[in-house]
């Protein structure tokens, strides 16, 4: 049976989630781990696609706009870019096929500068489930692009977090009210 939905686990790395991460959400990001784990396992068992669009940078990249906005983070080959906690273990145990994969992204949106849209359309995926961090940055920008590309969007409220609680709440409302996304518990 062919699945028409995918789970995108966005930027769930040590730098964004661990206490010692370079740009961490800290506890709010850590608290969503069980929801991400359960959702990934359920969707994997159902034959769905689970992909990990993951931020990657070079230190002091003068051409990247984030260099002026944030401290150095998610540098290729570092502890900070590794997936966080039990999600890393889950990924390591399940990434032996095409249904589970990690891919690089260099901008907020998982669509910007990647072949994500092409890969989704090849597989006839029409529904995207979004989890990860940060709700009001990378999850939001991915959702906006998904909306503009006409995907059905499901944001899992207990699977997203930010270092900015006001931004987190704003984004949850924006998903529902401006993107027509389902915000699932």
Residue 33, SS3?
helix
Please list the residues that pair with 59 across neighbouring strands. none
What mean pLDDT do residues 145-166 have? 98
Distance CA 94, CA 41 (A): 9
pLDDT tens column, 101-125? 999 999 999 999 999 999 999 999 9
Confidence of residue 22 (pLDDT cuts 50, 70, 90): very high
Tell me whether strands 127-133 and 152-161 are parallel, antiparallel or unpaired.
Answer: parallel
Strands (E) across the chain are located at 5-10, 49-55, 100-105, 127-133, 152-161, 182-184
Q: CA-CA distances (angstroms) from residue 144 to 42, 133, 152, 154?
A: 25, 15, 11, 12
* Mean pLDDT value across the chain: 95
The confidence band for 2, taking pLDDT boundaries of 50, 70 and 90, is low
Domains annotated for the chain, with CATH where assigned, are 5-184 (3.40.50.850)
**Separation between Cα atoms, residue 2 and residue 162, nearest integer Å:** 33
Residues with Cβ within 8 Å of residue 176, at least 6 apart in sequence: 182, 183
């Amino acid at each position: 049976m062919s699945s028409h939905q995918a789970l995108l686990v966005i930027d769930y790395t040590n730098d964004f989630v661990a206490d010692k991460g370079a740009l961490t959400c800290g506890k709010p990001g850590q608290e969503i781990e069980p929801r991400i784990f359960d959702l990934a396992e359920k969707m994997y068992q159902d034959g769905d696609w689970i992909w990990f669009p993951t931020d990657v940078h070079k230190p002091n990249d003068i051409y990247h706009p984030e260099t002026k906005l944030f401290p150095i983070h998610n540098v290729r080959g570092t502890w900070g870019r590794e997936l966080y906690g039990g999600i890393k273990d889950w990924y390591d145990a399940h990434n032996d096929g095409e249904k589970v994969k990690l891919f690089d992204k260099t901008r907020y949106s998982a669509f910007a500068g990647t072949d994500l849209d092409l890969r989704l359309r090849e597989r006839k995926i029409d529904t995207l489930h979004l989890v990860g961090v940060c709700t009001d940055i990378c999850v939001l920008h991915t959702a906006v692009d998904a909306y503009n590309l006409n995907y059905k969007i499901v944001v899992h409220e207990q699977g997203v977090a930010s270092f900015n609680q006001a931004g987190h709440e704003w984004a949850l409302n924006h998903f529902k009210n401006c993107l027509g996304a389902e915000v699932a518990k």
